[in-house]
C-alpha cells in the first residue's frame, strides 16, 4: 500500500493513502548483485546475498549521487516524505520536499531523493512506518546520508573506426582504458598517470570536438600548432554531451604524423 506523509516542524502530518503502483522490476544496475523485489519508477529495492536491503537503480540512464548533511530538530525535521512502493516488508520512501521555514529548508534535499542513513543507521528500503520511527527517535542534530538519482548522459565515441558509448563527465583517457583501449602510447615511454606531464595520452579529434570539455593549459600551450589534438587525461565528455556528437577520435597521432 502506498502512503503520503509529512514530517513537519511541529510533528507528523499524514495525507490520505493513494493506490499502489508496484510492478515487476525491469532492469537494475545495482552495485551489488541482488534479487529485485519491488520498484518504483526510478528506485528499486533488492536484498543482497548478505541479507542487506538496499536501493538500486531501475533506469540504467541514471546513476546515484550520495549527499551528506545535518539537520537540527525544532522540534521536528520539516521533511516531506512520500511512500511510492511497498510490499509489506520493504518500501520505497522518497523525499517529496521540505517545509518552508522548517529545519531542513537549507538542507540539500530535493524531491525524489531517498534517505540512506540516519545517525549512521542504515534505513534503506524501510517502509514509511519504520522510517518514521527511526526519524522520530533520532537524536538531534541528525546526521543524514541521502541518495539522489543523476542522469547519465551518453555520448557516442568512435575510436579508430569502432563505436563506444561514453557517459557525461567521463574522463577520456580513463574511459578508453575502461573499454580496454590504449589510454597512452607505450612506445613513447612511461606515462605520468594523468598528470599532464608525459603527453603520451594524445589523441586526434577528427569530428565532434564540442563533445569534449574545452581545452585548457597545458593543452592549449603544448598543442598550439595542433588544435585538433587533445590530451586524453585532460579531456572529459561534457556533462550535457547527449545533445551533441558523435565524437570521432584517432589514437596514436604521433605515429601517424611520422
N residues, the chain = 258
197's grid cell? 606531464
Q: Does 145 bind ligand FES (CB under 6 A)?
A: no
| Residue 165 CB, nearest approach to ligand FES (Å) | 22
Judge contact between 28 and 120, C-beta under 8 A.
no
| Residue 195 CB, nearest approach to ligand FES (Å) | 6
Q: How far is CA 31 from CA 71, 91, 146, 171, in A?
A: 28, 19, 16, 21
20 or 254, CB closer to ligand FES?
Answer: 254
Residues contacting residue 219 through CB under 8 Å, at least 6 positions apart: 196, 230, 231, 234, 235
* Residue 217-236 contact track with ligand FES, rule CB under 6 A, x = bound: --------------x-x---
Judge contact between 103 and 68, C-beta under 8 A.
no
Interface with ligand FES (CB under 6 A), residue total 14
Q: Which of 125, 57, 49 is nearest to 94 (CA)?
A: 125
| Residue 66 CB, nearest approach to ligand FES (Å) | 28
| Residue 159 CB, nearest approach to ligand FES (Å) | 16
Q: Find the binding residues for ligand FES in span 190-219 (CB under 6 A).
A: 191-192, 194-201
180's grid cell? 580496454
36 or 194, CB closer to ligand FES?
Answer: 194
- Give me the residues that bind ligand FES (CB under 6 A), please: 173, 184, 191-192, 194-201, 231, 233
Amino acid at each position: 500500500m502506498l502512503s503520503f506523509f509529512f514530517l513537519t516542524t511541529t510533528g507528523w502530518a499524514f495525507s490520505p493513502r493513494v493506490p499502489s503502483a508496484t510492478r515487476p522490476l525491469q532492469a537494475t544496475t545495482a552495485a551489488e548483485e541482488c534479487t529485485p523485489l519491488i520498484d518504483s519508477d526510478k528506485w528499486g529495492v533488492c536484498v543482497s546475498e548478505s541479507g542487506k536491503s538496499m536501493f538500486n537503480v531501475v533506469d540504467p540512464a541514471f546513476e546515484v549521487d550520495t549527499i551528506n548533511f545535518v539537520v537540527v530538530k525544532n522540534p521536528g525535521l520539516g521533511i516531506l516524505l512520500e511512500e511510492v512502493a511497498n510490499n509489506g516488508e520493504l518500501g520505497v520512501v522518497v523525499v517529496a520536499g521540505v517545509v518552508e521555514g522548517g529545519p531542513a529548508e537549507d538542507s540539500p534535499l530535493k524531491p525524489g531523493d531517498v534517505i540512506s542513513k540516519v545517525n549512521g543507521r542504515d534505513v534503506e528500503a524501510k517502509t514509511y512506518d519504520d522510517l518514521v520511527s527511526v526519524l522520530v527517535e533520532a537524536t538531534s542534530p541528525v546526521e543524514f546520508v541521502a541518495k539522489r538519482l543523476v542522469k547519465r548522459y551518453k555520448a557516442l565515441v568512435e575510436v579508430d573506426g569502432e563505436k563506444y558509448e561514453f557517459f557525461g563527465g567521463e574522463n577520456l583517457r580513463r574511459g578508453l582504458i575502461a573499454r580496454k583501449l590504449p589510454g597512452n602510447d607505450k612506445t613513447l615511454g612511461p606515462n605520468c598517470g594523468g598528470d599532464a606531464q608525459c603527453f603520451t595520452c594524445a589523441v586526434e579529434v577528427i569530428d565532434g570536438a564540442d563533445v569534449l570539455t574545452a581545452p585548457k593549459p597545458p593543452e592549449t600551450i603544448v598543442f598550439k600548432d595542433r588544435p585538433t589534438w587533445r590530451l586524453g587525461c585532460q579531456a572529459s565528455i561534457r556533462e550535457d554531451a547527449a545533445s551533441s556528437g558523435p565524437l570521432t577520435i584517432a589514437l596514436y597521432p604521433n605515429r601517424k604524423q611520422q
